[in-house]
Amino acid sequence: MLTDLFSPSVQHSLDIAGIFVFAISGALLAVRKNFDVFGMAVLAEVTALGGGLIRDVIIGAVPPAAFTDLGYFLTPLLATVIVFFLHPEVERITKAVGVFDAAGLGLFCVTGTVKAYGHGLGLVFAATLGLATAVGGGVLRDILAHEVPSLLRWDRDLYAVPAMVGAALAALLLRFGALDGLAYAVPVVTAFVLRLLAMRFHWRAPRAWHRRSAATEEA
């Protein structure tokens, strides 16, 4: 199905681009946490590849792509080198990085859903693994950096929800045999646009109804 819209080389290039941007976010968090270069590389690799590793292990696609394609492994290291030497400049273009991150989110939530479905999972579970592909690396990154994962924090713009919508839409298109050709772009673009809108207008998920706790979220 992937090749209906993208050739293998284009699909690989898009994967590398998404991996690179996710790795940048991991390396930048390591800088903010005052990690050394090894810590930067670890967070970059985990952020970029963690979601795909979780998916591939669950569906039995072993060894995972991250361990069979050298480009997947080396790209986060390249991102680490760039951030190591140029992190002030990279910090200044975080908005642009956020746009590319949103594009990676949209792409990975759909490719993860399609790959899981192709390995025999039902639509609901395929969509769930699509979500895990898109956000799993960020969760592992935050845990390693001793932070509450961003997608669990009420004071962060919606991140998982756009990926959930994209994965669910991909599953629906799979259900009706319509996820081919240009239709493949529909869930990708939907998740991408929703994430951009959440960033622009600071959309956040609601907290508990009639919440009485006076506790505040740590900065």
Domain boundaries in the chain?
Answer: 2-201
| Predicted pLDDT of residue 215 | 54
| Predicted pLDDT of residue 104 | 86
Asked if 112 contacts 51 with a C-beta cutoff of 8 angstroms, the reply is yes
What is the C-alpha separation between 64 and 158, in angstroms, rounded? 29
Task: Enter the DSSP assignment of 25.
Answer: H
| Predicted pLDDT of residue 94 | 75
Q: Write the DSSP assignment of 201-218 as a string of letters.
A: HT------TT--------
What is the C-alpha separation between 36 and 22, in angstroms, rounded? 19
pLDDT digit string, tens, across residues 57-89: 999 999 998 899 999 999 999 999 999 998 888
pLDDT digit string, tens, across residues 110-134: 999 999 999 999 999 999 999 999 9
216 has a pLDDT exceeding 70: no
CA distances from 88 to 3, 24, 82, 102, 199 (A): 39, 13, 11, 22, 22
What is the value of pTM for the model shown?
Answer: 0.86
Nearest to 101 by CA among 6, 198, 177: 198
Tokens of residue 1, six digits: 């199905």
Asked if 168 contacts 181 with a C-beta cutoff of 8 angstroms, the reply is no
